[in-house]
Structure 1
Amino acid sequence: MKKTSLFFLLLSLAAASAHAQTSGATIPAARAALQQATTQAQRLAQELSLSADQHARLRQVLLLTRQHMDADRAAHHDDPAALQTAMTVDRAKSEELIRGVLTPAQYVRYQQLKAARIGQLHTTVHTN
């Protein structure tokens, strides 16, 4: 029950944040964040065999995470150390929320997929 309450509290904060950010030049950025979160949620829904409810909840978590990271980039564009700290906090919060959406078996699989993707990114960066 606590996880569900926490999720809906964060969801409402995300909605308020999204509403506040959708003015003027931020509309394309908000659409990009929504598209990226939707695409990532769809990929994970297939790979983790998520229920419709899990898929919707995961999409909201991913969107919230992207919105916070975009806000971090804007707020700390001139301070790399502060940006790294803020993003580390966002990633930790995101992981906690994702863990609350997934079953234990799905979370283990999610961690494996994430580790493989990180390894793939490091390989790509170091070979180019």
Structure 2
Amino acid sequence: MFLKSFLTLAILGVLAGPAAAQTTPAMQAAAAASQAQRMAQELGLSPDQHARLRQVLLLTRQHLDADLAAHQGDPGGLRTAMAFDRAKSDELIRGVLTPAQYVRYQQYKAARIGQLHSTSQVGR
């Protein structure tokens, strides 16, 4: 159960790396900027797309922290809230990217999920 929640948490952050519990606004902004930079390089984003993506990622991280605070001790509620936020984030990201970039984003995301999944299987 914990592993599934952890993977969901990591995916919501658009797979930026290990997910943490609640973070400060400065930490959220720094993580969103770093993730947006990696994605900008990976997907070949314009400066405008990069700025818009950074805002989407920051909003996603803020919602994640709000979900964690609102659903302490309620894994089912947390999963539901996170699923909604993942869908909304994906919708917003799709609006920033061209169709070709969105396809590459989906491939990038799938590869990162695979990396997280294989890493989580180590030591089992």
TM-score range relative to shorter protein: 0.7 to 0.9
CA offset at residue 29 of structure 1?
1.2
The aligned residue for residue 53 of structure 2 is 58
More helix per residue: 1
The aligned residue for residue 93 of structure 2 is 98
The aligned residue for residue 13 of structure 2 is none
TM-score (norm 2): 0.80
The aligned residue for residue 42 of structure 2 is 47
1:82 is aligned to 2:82: no
1:125 is aligned to 2:108: no
Give the letter for the 1:121 counterpart. Answer: L
Kindly name which structure, 1 or 2, has the bigger radius of gyration based on alpha carbons. Answer: 1
Gaps of 5+ in 1: 1-25
Give the letter for the 2:43 counterpart. Answer: L
Q: Deviations over 1:8-32 (max 9, x none)?
A: xxxxxxxxxxxxxxxxxx8x61111
Distance 2:27 2:71 in 1: 20
**3-state DSSP class of the match of 2:24?**
helix
Distance 1:32 1:81 in 2: 27
The aligned residue for residue 106 of structure 2 is 111
Q: Deviations over 1:34-56 (max 9, x none)?
A: 11100000000001010000000
CA offset at residue 78 of structure 1?
1.4
State the identity as a percent.
Answer: 70
Structure 1 vs Structure 2 CA RMSD: 1.1
Give the letter for the 1:125 counterpart. Answer: S
CA offset at residue 107 of structure 1?
0.3
Give the letter for the 1:41 counterpart. Answer: A
CA offset at residue 127 of structure 1?
1.4
Give the letter for the 2:116 counterpart. Answer: L
Give the letter for the 2:88 counterpart. Answer: K
